[in-house]
Structure 1
Amino acid sequence: MQFLEQFLSDFSSFVWGLPLLILLIGGGLYLLLLSRFLPFRYLGHAIAVLRGKYDNPEDPGQISHFQALTTALSATVGMGNIAGVAVAISIGGPGAVFWMWVSAVIGMSTKFYTSALSIMFRGKDSAGELQGGPMYFIVEGLGKAWKPLAIWFSVSGLVGALPVFNVNQLTQAINDILLVPNGVKVTLFSNLCIGLFLVLITGIVILGGLKRISKTASKLVPAMVVLYFLAVLIILMANIESVPKYLVLIVKDAFNADNFLGDSFLGGTLGGLILLGIRRGAFSNEAGIGTAPMAHGAAKTNEPVREGLVAMMGPAIDTLVVCTLTALAILVTGVWQSTDANGVSLTASAFASAIPGFGQYILLLCIAVFSISSLFSYAYYGSKCMGFLFGADKKQYYNYIYIVSIILGAITTLSMMINLIDGFFALMAFPTMLATLILAPKVTKEIKRYIKQMQ
C-alpha cells in the first residue's frame, strides 16, 4: 500500500510539470487575449441566456442552458471547494488561494472556448445521437487523423471521472463530524457501510440517464450553494475585523511563500506555491480539463458562443465565490494554524469553531449534497468516454465500474485518491488544451458573427 501511495504521488508530480502549466496558464492567457476579454464584457448577456431568454425547444440537444451549467457545477462545486481549498491552505498557506484565483480568471476564457467548441463540433455517437465534448470536437474539428488524441482524452477520462476523492472526503466528514463525536468507533466496516449507502443513492440516479442527473442537479446545487454561502457569511460576520487582514495576507503571501510546506518547483518555493494553487484551482473549476464541455455539449442550442458564455460562469461561481468563502472561513477562525487537520477535517474545524454546536452539521449537510451531486455528474462524464471508445451500447457498463469505485474511495487514504485524480486530470488536460488552442481561431470567427447578429 505504501509503494502504491508513493507511486501515485510521483505520477501526479510528473504529469503536473512545466509543460502542463504552460498549456493551462499560457494557453488560457492566449485565449483571453484572442477573445478580447469577451467573458468579462458579456457577463450580462450570459446571465440573460442562463435565465432562458434565448431558449428554443426546437434546437438540437438534450438539456437547457441552466441544466447544463448546474450539471457541470454539480461536478465542480464539491469537494474541490471544501476539501481541496483546505488541502491548498494546509500545504501552501494563504498565498495558495491567490493562485487559485488566477487559475479561475484565466480559466473563464478556457472554459468559454472549450464549451463553445463542444457545440460547434458536435458529433454523433454509434447510436446516432448528437454528443459534445473534447473527444468529439477533436475528431469533428481536427479530422479523423487526430482521433488518437480523442482516444487519449477518453481513456484518461475513464479514470479521471471516478468519484474516489469525493467519496473519500465525504466518508471522512461523516466520521469526523457525525460518528466519532458520538462515540462510534470508525472501522473498515463502518466506512464500507457508508460506501454501500452512497452506492444505493448514486445507482438510483445515474441509471436514469442524463435527464434525471440534470434535473436532480438543477434542484440540489443552487439550494446548497445558498446554504453554504449563508453559513460562511455568519462565520465572516463573527470575525469581520480579520477579513481585510487575511485578504491582504492572501496577496502578500502569494509572492513571499512564507507558509509554503510543499516541494519546490522551478528551483524555488514560490514556483511550488504557484503550481499548488494552479493544481487546486484546476481541481476545483476543471477549466481546461475537459469535463464540463461534455455537459455543455448536451445543451439545447445552435449557438456555440451562447453556451460558451454560460460555461464561463462556472469558474467564477466555483472558485472566485465558493472557494474564496471556504478559504476565508478557514483563515479568519485561525484553525489553519492551530490544528494539524487536513482536507475536509480542517474546514469542519473552522465551522465548529465559529458556529459552536451545529456549525459542523451545516457543513456536513452541504458536503453530503455537494459530494452526492458530484457523483451523478462524473458518472455521466465517464459513461460518455466509455461510449466514445466502445460504442453507445456499451456506455452503461461504466456505471457498474463507477459504483464499485465508490467502495474503493470510502476505504482508502486521502493522499492516494487526490494524487490519482490529479494525475488523470492532467492527462485529460493535454489533449483538451492542444485541440482548443488549434481550433481557437474558428471560435473567434464565430464570436464576430454572433456579435454582429446581436447588433
Structure 2
Amino acid sequence: MEKLNTILAEFSSLAWGLPLLIILIGGGLYLIIRSQFLPFRYLGHAIQVLRGKYDDPNDPGQITHFQALSTALSSTIGMGNISGVALAIVVGGPGAVFWMWVSAVIGMSTKYFTSTLAILYRGKDSEGELQGGPMYFIVEGLGKRWKFLALMFSFFGILGALPVVNVNQLKQAINDIILIPNGVEVSLTSNLIIAAVLVIFTSIVVFGGLKRISNWASKLVPSMVLLYFVLVLIILFVNYTEVPKYLAMIVTDAFSAEYYPKDKPFLGGVLGALILHGIKRGAFSNEAGLGTAAMAHGAAKTDEPVREGLVAMLGPAIDTLIVCTLTALAILVTGVWETTASNGVSLTAEAFQNAIPGFGQYLLMICVFIFSVSSLFSYAYYGNKCLSFLIGAKRKHYYNYLYIASIVLAATTDFKAMINFIDGVFALMAIPTMIATIILAPKVIAASRIYFSKLKS
C-alpha cells in the first residue's frame, strides 16, 4: 500500500504541473476576458431559466434545466465539499480557501462555455440518441481530425467517474461517527458490509438510467444543501465572534502562505504551491474545466445552447462559493484544524461535534450520506456516457459492473491513494476539455450575442 501511495502521489504531482495550471486557470481567464464578462451580467436571467420559465417539453433532450443542474450538482456537491475542503485546510491553511474561491469564479465562466458547447454541438451515439459532452463537441465542433482529444477525454472520464473518493470517505464517516463510538470493531469485514449496502442501493438507481438518476438528484440535492446550510449556520452562530477573524485570515493567508509546508515549493516558492493546492481542491470540488458537468447539461431539453450555459454557470457559485465556504468556516471557527490530527471527513465531523455536542456529528452523517449517495448516481451516468462513446451505446451497461466493483475497492483502500488517483485523472480530463473549449470559444461568443440581442428585443 505504501508503494501504491507513492506511485499515485507522483502521478498526481506530474499531472498537476505548470502546463495544466496554465490551461485551466489561464484558459479560464481568457474565456472571461474574451467574453467581456458577458455571462456574469445575466445571473438573474439564469435563475429564471433554472426555475423553468423557458421550459418547453417539445425541445430536444431528455431532462429539464433544473434536473440537469441537479444532476451536475449531485456529483460536484459531494465529498469535495466536506473532505476536500478539510484536506485543503490541513495541507494549505486558511489561504487555500481563497484560491478555491478564485477557481470557482473562473470556473463559472468555464462552465458557461463548456455547457453551451454541449448543446451547440450535440451529437448522436451509436443508437441514434442525442448526446452532449466534451467528446461530442470536440468531434462535432472541431472535426474528426481532433477525435484523439475526444478519445482521451472519454478514456480518462471512465476512470475519473469511479466513485472511489466518495465511497472511501463515506466509509470513514460511518466508522468514525457510528461504529467506533459504539464499540464496534472496524475491520475488513465491516468495510465490506458497508460496501455491500452501497452496492445494492446504487445498483437500484444506476441501472435505471438517466431519468431515474435525474429524478433522485432533483429531490436529494436541494434538501441536502438546505440541511447542510442550516447546520453550518448554527455552528457559525455559536462561534460568531470568530467568523470575522477567519474570513480576514482566508484573504491574508492566501498571499502570505504562512501555514503551507515550506519544503514543497512550486513556481519558485511556497505561495505558488499554495495557489496550486487551492486550485486543485477547487477543481475537485466544482469540476469546472473537467467536462463532467457538460455531459449532464448536454442532456437538457432545450434548443437554446446559451440558456443551458447560464444554468451551468450557477454550479460553481453554489458548490464552491457557498457550500465549500460554509465547510471551511465551520472547520476554522471551531479551531479543530489546529488541535487535531484528523483529516478529510473526520476533521469536519470533529468541527460539528465541537459546536453541536452530542448529536452534531450524527447530523453531519446524514449530510455525508446524502452527499455521497447522490454523487454515486451522477458519476455512474458520466462513466456510462464515456464508455458509450468508446465502444458503442449497446455495450455501455458494462460500465455499471466496473463501477459497482470500484465501490468495494474504495471501501477497503487508503484515502491518500484514492484522492491522488482522482486528482491525477481529473487533470488529464481537463486537458482535452479546455483545449477544445478555448478553440471553440468564438462560436460560443457569437451564439451568446445573438441570444442576448433577441432577449433585449
TM-score range normalised by the length of the shorter chain: over 0.9
Offset of 1:166 from its aligned partner?
0.3
Tell me which residue corresponds to 1:423: 424
SS at match of 1:83: helix
Distance 1:17 1:388 in 2: 28
Alpha-carbon deviations, 1:232-278, whole Å to 9, x = none? 00000011111000000000000000011372211211111000000
| TM alignment of 1:346-361, pairs within 5 A | 346-361=347-362
Distance 1:148 1:443 in 2: 22
Distance 1:428 1:260 in 2: 27
Offset of 1:148 from its aligned partner?
0.7
Offset of 1:135 from its aligned partner?
0.2
Q: Which amino acid aligns with 1:183?
A: G
| TM alignment of 1:307-326, pairs within 5 A | 307-326=308-327
1:28 aligns with 2:28: yes
1:197 aligns with 2:186: no
1:158 aligns with 2:174: no
Tell me which residue corresponds to 1:285: 286
SS at match of 1:439: helix
Offset of 1:24 from its aligned partner?
0.8
SS at match of 1:26: helix
Distance 1:123 1:214 in 2: 21
Distance 2:342 2:268 in 1: 28
| TM alignment of 1:322-337, pairs within 5 A | 322-337=323-338
Tell me which residue corresponds to 1:74: 74
Distance 1:285 1:303 in 2: 24
Tell me which residue corresponds to 1:118: 118
Alpha-carbon deviations, 1:87-139, whole Å to 9, x = none? 00000000000000000000000000000000000000000000000000000
Distance 2:179 2:125 in 1: 46
Tell me which residue corresponds to 2:133: 133
RMSD over aligned CA atoms reads 0.6
1:226 aligns with 2:219: no
Aligned length: 455
Tell me which residue corresponds to 2:383: 382
User: 4+ residue runs of structure 1 moved beyond 3 angstroms?
Assistant: none
Tell me which residue corresponds to 2:411: 410
Alpha-carbon deviations, 1:325-367, whole Å to 9, x = none? 0000000000000001000000000000000011001100000
Distance 2:224 2:257 in 1: 33
Distance 1:398 1:374 in 2: 16
Q: Which amino acid aligns with 2:271?
A: L
Offset of 1:34 from its aligned partner?
1.5
Tell me which residue corresponds to 1:55: 55
TM-score, structure 2 length as denominator? 0.99
Unaligned 5+ runs, structure 2: none
Alpha-carbon deviations, 1:279-300, whole Å to 9, x = none? 0000000000010000000000
Distance 1:80 1:364 in 2: 15
TM-score, structure 1 length as denominator? 0.99
Unaligned 5+ runs, structure 1: none
SS at match of 1:356: coil
SS at match of 2:267: coil
SS at match of 2:52: coil
Tell me which residue corresponds to 1:433: 434
Distance 1:178 1:121 in 2: 48
Distance 2:38 2:121 in 1: 21
Offset of 1:393 from its aligned partner?
0.2
Distance 2:310 2:451 in 1: 12
Offset of 1:189 from its aligned partner?
0.7
Alpha-carbon deviations, 1:385-443, whole Å to 9, x = none? 00000000010000000000000010000100000011000000000000000000000
Q: Which amino acid aligns with 1:277?
A: G
Offset of 1:39 from its aligned partner?
2.8
Distance 1:351 1:38 in 2: 40
Distance 1:233 1:338 in 2: 22
Distance 1:6 1:342 in 2: 19
Distance 2:82 2:92 in 1: 16
Tell me which residue corresponds to 2:6: 6
| TM alignment of 1:293-308, pairs within 5 A | 293-308=294-309
Distance 2:350 2:313 in 1: 32
Tell me which residue corresponds to 2:372: 371
Offset of 1:38 from its aligned partner?
2.2
Distance 2:164 2:447 in 1: 38
Distance 1:299 1:85 in 2: 30
Tell me which residue corresponds to 2:259: 259
Distance 1:87 1:264 in 2: 18
SS at match of 1:42: helix
Distance 2:36 2:52 in 1: 26
Distance 1:216 1:286 in 2: 21
Identity %: 71
Tell me which residue corresponds to 1:398: 399
Offset of 1:3 from its aligned partner?
1.3
Q: Which amino acid aligns with 1:350?
A: A
